[in-house]
A and B are shown apart, each in its own frame.
Chain A
Amino acid sequence: MDFDLSDDQRLLKDSVDRLMAETYGFEQRRAHMAQPDGWSRGSWAQFAELGLLGVTLPEAQGGFGGGLVEAMLVADAFGRSLVVEPYFAHAVLCAGLLRHAAEASVQDEMLPVLAAGESLFAFAHHERAARHCLSHVETTARLGEAGFVLEGRKSLVLHGDCADRLIVSARLSGGMRETNGIALFLVDAAATERRGYATQDGLRAAEITLDGVIAEVVLGLDAWPGLSRAVDEASAFLCAEAVGAMDALLALTVEYMKTRRQFGRAIGEFQVLQHRAVDMQVQLELARSMALYATMMAADPDEETRSRAISAARVQIGRSLRHVSEEAIQLHGGIGMTMEYRAGHYLKRLAMIEKSFGDTEAHLDRLAAMGTAW
């Protein structure tokens, strides 16, 4: 049992941290967001160059050859800097889906493209009535003469507005929430109808209509095991991203408390405020512990063991992020309310993480339904 990074992992962490320090200050981030896509193609190229887009992919397929710990390090750094590029959609979700749900030949063809960042991938899965149910798929796939024909509407597709390719989930058989009968297809994004928009945390998303779209590639016809695994891994990434964001936000808050003066002294001298900052620290440490746990358990091949661990982590992180981000704004006072200051942007990102792929209550429901065998 150890929590230490290997030398290679430490090197990766240093290089990502350095890139963030050089290219992702608050003003630089604002400039990235002002680009036509809502993010920076220049940063994207730098991520590709450092190997970050394929950080969890095998070297033979153009990847960095890392695992979930490496992904966690990227997540932590990106959380601190509030990265707005489509990293999560492309390099986490879609890389995971290709790895866990696609045939080997498809992987060999697609993963190098993904790792190079040449073609942008997004995951078109969520539907209007799904809420937090991952197996909710009403979009249909039927075999036509030219291949599988997809019909349906996808919603909240993260970075679906600018993606070149979409990984689309569609139902071949079964009721709308059954895990059996879900397939995954690769679709040319230009063949769909898209309405793009910004999200609260400065990312981009799209509503997507599939009106008789013909799938380019079949990724998997019995896709649930791979899909649920990829999403659990993505949850582990979100946990680590949230920890990075919380850590930076707490540091920002403590720094502010040491410099902001009222009643003739730094507000950090008031014990009532010190204790509130300590309670934020306690919540952060619990979240950090569970992000590590999620990272180490997300590769567990047993679906139930893995899901239990991921849901437990999401519950803790969901509670911690609420506490830390709400308290951070309160301790800052008015400055915390402005778009010109960093703290509020952390609140916004953390609040959106909490609602991604099952919120705190949904994960608690999942745990309660499972019963326990810790």
Chain B
Amino acid sequence: MDLSFTAEERAFREELRDIFHTEIPERIRGKLRHGLHASRQDQVEAQRILNARGLAVPNWPVEWGGQDWSPVQHYIWQEELQLACVPHPLSFNCTMVGPVIAQFGSLAQKQRFLARAANLDDWWCQGFSEPNAGSDLASLRTTARRDGDDWVIDGQKTWTTLGQYADWIFVLARTDPAAKKQEGISFLLVDLTTPGITMRPIQTIDGGREVNEVFFDGVRVPGENLVGEVNRGWDYAKFLLGNERTGIARIGITKARVRRIRELAEQEWDGDRRLIDDPGFRRKLASLEVELKALEMTQLRVVAAERQLEKGKPNPMSSVLKIRGSELQQASTALMMDVMGPYVAPFFDEHEIEFGNEPPPGPADAATAAPQYFNMRKVSIYGGSNEIQRAILAKAVLGF
């Protein structure tokens, strides 16, 4: 039993840290550090730099651009990426559709899509949720009807994150209405320029527009764009959702935010003393740091156990990571609000914050504190809500 990383692992960490700090422009990383979003162009630029180094899709099979890394190396990669405030390689490409195509797609699909997805030449988005299919995703009603060699899609998808930037969408659609609900679903790849698709932005409570509704009205998709077998889409979706065993906790991002909280609390005055010198505040900060440490150690246990797990088989412990990881992302944005105090109130949109003539009133980062806090309410809802995670644990671990 040993907590330390090997000399090779430490060198690996140093090497990645160096690349992330020197090659990804500070202009982009600084935005994330201050709670702003990467633009489409930032995201593409960062991912292409990573991809040129083989660091965009290390989780993919080696023949399609992945790395033959140990679970610990994957963990280090992810943590350093997050600590350096590098935009994560687009998850829709890199942890969702890419691995599904690599695992279940045809050779033609692999050749056509994988390299472009890794390099963000194609921007993918997700067509899973529907207005009446949230946690109960398998009840989805969007249909794909066979017509000659083609599929014709009708229905509506929602919560499609960054769909406004996307070129392609991967869609779960019902192909056998008579089958049991999980058994009649297929996985289709759809070019967003196809006639019949309408994308409508949804403004979220932080004021941003990161999600969309997508309407499909007789959208014709060539038969070659079906992934794997007809009516097996649910299996592929489960593979996709179970794929990211340890990344979901986003501990590195929370760690980076907690560091920033400490920095700002050292600069912020409450009368004649700095906020960091307030014993009550110090206790709250220490408390969050303990919770984060406990989560990090739990993540390391899951990473270490991964060697013994069958590949692709989900570890129910990752539900613990999801629950606590999301709770701490939320708790850290709440503590950031506490640091800013009343200066969370002024509303400036991101464009004004970035390019306005005068900075918003109050401490640095004040203008992004409340939007981040509002936005982070989503993390206990998406990726399988925390209640769904509890249902998984109740069954898989406690045997109810």
Instruction: Give A residues with C-beta under 8 Å from B.
Output: 1-6, 9, 69, 254, 257-258, 268-269, 271, 274-275, 277-279, 281-282, 285-290, 292-293, 295-297, 312, 315-316, 364-365, 367-369, 371-372, 374
Contact = CB atoms under 8 A, between A and B. Distances in A.
A285 B298 contact: yes
Interface bracket on B: 35 or more
Nearest to B266: A371
Contact of B297 (A9, A293, A365): A293
Contact of A364 (B1, B283, B394, B399): B283
B1 A315 contact: no
Interface string B256-294: 000000100000000000000001001101110111011
A292 B285 contact: no
A285 B1 contact: no
The interface centre, meaning the residue of A4, A9, A279, A281 with most chain B CB atoms within 10 A of its CB, is: A281
Contact of A275 (B1, B3, B300, B394): B394
A145 to B, nearest CB: 49
Contact of B1 (A3, A254, A279, A312): A3
A271 B72 CA distance: 36
B313 interface: no
Interface stretch (B48-56, B101-109, B152-160, B316-324): B316-324
Given A274-B400, A296-B1, A3 B304 contact: yes
Given A1-B72, A374-B293, A364 B286 contact: yes
Contact of A285 (B5, B6, B287, B317): B317
A246 to B, nearest CB: 14
Interface string B359-400: 000000000000000000000000000010011011001111
Given A5-B1, A274-B398, A292-B301, 18 more contacts: A1-B5, A1-B9, A2-B1, A2-B2, A3-B304, A274-B400, A277-B398, A281-B393, A281-B398, A286-B291, A289-B298, A292-B297, A364-B283, A365-B283, A367-B290, A368-B283, A369-B282, A372-B262
Contact of A258 (B262, B294, B397, B400): B400
A259 B301 CA distance: 32
Contacts of B297: 289-290, 292-293
Interface of B: 1-6, 9, 72, 255, 262, 279, 282-283, 285-287, 289-291, 293-295, 297-298, 300-301, 303-305, 317, 320, 323-324, 387, 390-391, 393-394, 397-400
A316 B5 contact: no
Contacts of B399: 254, 258
Contacts, number: 123
Contact of B290 (A254, A279, A316): A316
Contacts of A269: 400
Contacts of B282: 368-369, 371
Contacts of B9: 1
Contacts of A293: 3, 293, 297
B286 A275 contact: no
Given A1-B72, A254-B399, A368 B323 contact: no
Given A282-B323, A286-B324, A297-B3, A316 B393 contact: no
16 contacts: A1-B72, A9-B1, A254-B400, A274-B391, A282-B323, A286-B298, A289-B295, A289-B298, A289-B300, A289-B301, A293-B297, A296-B3, A297-B3, A365-B283, A368-B285, A374-B255
B298 A274 contact: no
Closest 6 CB pairs of A and B: A289-B297, A368-B282, A367-B286, A274-B394, A286-B294, A289-B298
Name the prevailing secondary structure of the A interface residues: helix
Given A268-B400, A312-B293, A368-B282, A69 B1 contact: yes
B279 A368 contact: yes
B295 to A, nearest CB: 7
B279 A278 contact: no
A199 B298 CA distance: 34
B92 to A, nearest CB: 29
A1 B287 contact: no
Nearest to A285: B320
Contact of B390 (A268, A274, A287): A274
Contact of A316 (B1, B72, B291): B291
A279 B3 CA distance: 27
B290 A1 contact: no
A281 B72 CA distance: 25
A310 to B, nearest CB: 12
B299 to A, nearest CB: 9
A292 B1 contact: yes
Nearest to A273: B400
A124 B323 CA distance: 44
Nearest to B283: A368
Contacts of A315: 286-287, 290
A313 B262 CA distance: 21
Contacts of B393: 278, 281-282
A274 B262 CA distance: 38
A97 B359 CA distance: 58
A315 to B, nearest CB: 5
A271 B291 CA distance: 26
Contacts of B298: 285-286, 289
A282 B398 contact: no
Nearest to A4: B1
Nearest to A257: B400
A315 B290 CA distance: 7
Contacts of B1: 2-6, 9, 69, 292, 295-296
A1 B304 contact: yes
B2 A1 contact: yes
Contact of A290 (B5, B293, B320, B324): B293
Nearest to A276: B390
